[in-house]
Amino acid sequence: MKRSAEAIWQGDLKAGAGSLTSESGVLATTPYSFKTRFESEIGTNPEELLAAAHAGCFTMALSAQLEERGMTAKELRTKCVITLDPGTLTITRSDLTLAANIPGGDEAKFVDAVKAAELGCPVSKLFKAEIHVESSLVV
């Protein structure tokens, strides 16, 4: 299985601008620029997209891990924060914060499932940066 997206950039780094388009059409010439990446202008940027990808992938992987352990979540809510070191332009961390509502959930099985999802998620495997997961369970 392969998925694709395309980036188009015009101009220099600081004054230039680009757009991102995904195969599915969810991103359709979505603008991005230096200001959306390194300042606070409205628009997307690669780190935001990586955060969405990691949050989505981890959450799906956790759902599968919970199912293997006989649990089904009422809701899994994951926020991901990607840290980019502006000096080295290196992604240094991916912090996942998980809130899980699993009626009748088992704490030990939950912790085991979270760790398995953290290590097994394809996006986690992609990052060379430290990956950190913070989770909470509502039973």
Domain residue ranges in the chain: 5-38, 46-138
Residue 110 CB coordination number (10 Å): 23
CA dist., res. 49 & res. 85, Å (int):
17
Helices 107-120 + 46-68 axis angle, to 10: 130
Question: Against a cut of 0.75, is the pTM above it?
Answer: yes
Structure tokens, 27: 């991103």
The mean pLDDT of 7-18, rounded to a whole number, is 95
The neighbouring-strand residues paired with 17 are 10, 33
Cα 74 to Cα 11: distance, rounded to the nearest angstrom: 47
Banded model confidence at residue 1, pLDDT cuts 50, 70, 90: confident
Checking if the pLDDT of 129 tops 70, the result is no
- Which of 93, 26, 25, 97 has its CA nearest to residue 58? 97
- State yes or no: pLDDT of 131 exceeds 90: no
pLDDT over 90 at 86, yes or no: no
- Mean predicted lDDT score pLDDT of the chain: 94
Cα 103 from chain centroid?
Answer: 25
> What is the SS3 assignment for 104?
coil
Look at residues 122, 99, 95 and name the one whose alpha carbon lies nearest to residue 110.
99
46-138 CATH choice from 3.40.1160.10, 3.40.1410.10, 3.30.450.20, 3.30.300.20: 3.30.300.20
